């Protein structure tokens, strides 16, 4: 009960009047026109996002999230149906296969070099003197630079 007699009734009337006034004002305002006049970009520019983020306690929010409840609500079957598992498996398998293939080829090339080095040593020939590949596929090595001419000849 209010300490001043009759104040409760006055408060009630004031409340009713305020509600009615607000309602009338809201009806009178053209919200679309009002929103059109607002420069949203200017408002956004004035917002200090970093400060806003600093004020957010993420830990607290995460603590309040009931992950178990969220997981329970997920329809795993529907997710699995929509997931292209085949392509994921194929992609990962292709990656592993290409890695293994690269490894096998690299090892074989390494052994090729090892054998070629020994054969060249036995045959007493220099690897640099041997052609690298067929002329259409491998450019001939650049000729060795000749002696630098004396300064007066340049």
Partner 1 sequence: MATTVAIKPVEGRQGQYAGAVTRLVAFAADVGASWGLFTLGAAALAFSVQLVTGHKFSLSDYQIPSLIVAVVWEFVYFTYQWSLSGKTIGMAVLGIRVVSSDGVSIGFRQAAQRTLTLPLSFLLLGLGFLGILTNRHRRALHDRLAGTAVVYSWDARAARLRWLAKQDAADPA
Token pair, residue 18, equals: 């305020």
Q: For residue 71, what are the CA distances in angstroms to 59, 80, 83? A: 19, 14, 17
Q: Does 127 bind partner 1 (CB under 8 A)?
A: no
**Least distance from C-beta 136 to partner 1, angstroms?**
3
Interface of this chain with partner 1, residues 79 to 108, rule: CB under 8 A? 96, 98-108
CB of 89 to partner 1, least distance (A): 13
Contacts with partner 1, 130-149, as mask; x by CB under 8 A: xxxxxxxxx-----------
**Tokens 């392509």 -> residue:** 87
- What SS3 string covers 10-58? HHHHHHHHHHHHHHHHHHHCCHHHHHHHCCHHHHHHHCCHHHHHHHCCH
Decide whether 12 or 121 has the Cβ nearer to partner 1.
121
The footprint of partner 1 (CB under 8 A) covers 96, 98-113, 115-116, 119, 123, 130-138
């Amino acid at each position: 009960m209010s300490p001043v007699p009759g104040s409760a009734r006055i408060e009630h009337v004031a409340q009713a009047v305020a509600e009615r006034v607000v309602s009338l004002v809201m009806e009178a305002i053209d919200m679309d026109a009002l929103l059109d006049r607002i420069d949203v970009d200017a408002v956004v520019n004035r917002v200090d996002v970093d400060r806003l983020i600093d004020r957010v306690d993420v830990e607290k929010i995460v603590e309040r999230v009931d992950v178990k409840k969220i997981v329970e609500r997920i329809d795993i079957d529907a997710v699995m149906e929509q997931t292209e598992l085949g392509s994921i498996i194929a992609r990962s398998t292709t990656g592993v296969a290409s890695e293994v293939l690269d490894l096998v080829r690299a090892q074989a090339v390494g052994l090729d070099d090892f054998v070629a080095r020994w054969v060249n040593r036995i045959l007493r020939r220099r690897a640099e003197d041997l052609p690298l590949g067929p002329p259409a596929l491998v450019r001939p090595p650049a000729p060795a630079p000749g002696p630098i001419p004396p300064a007066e000849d340049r």
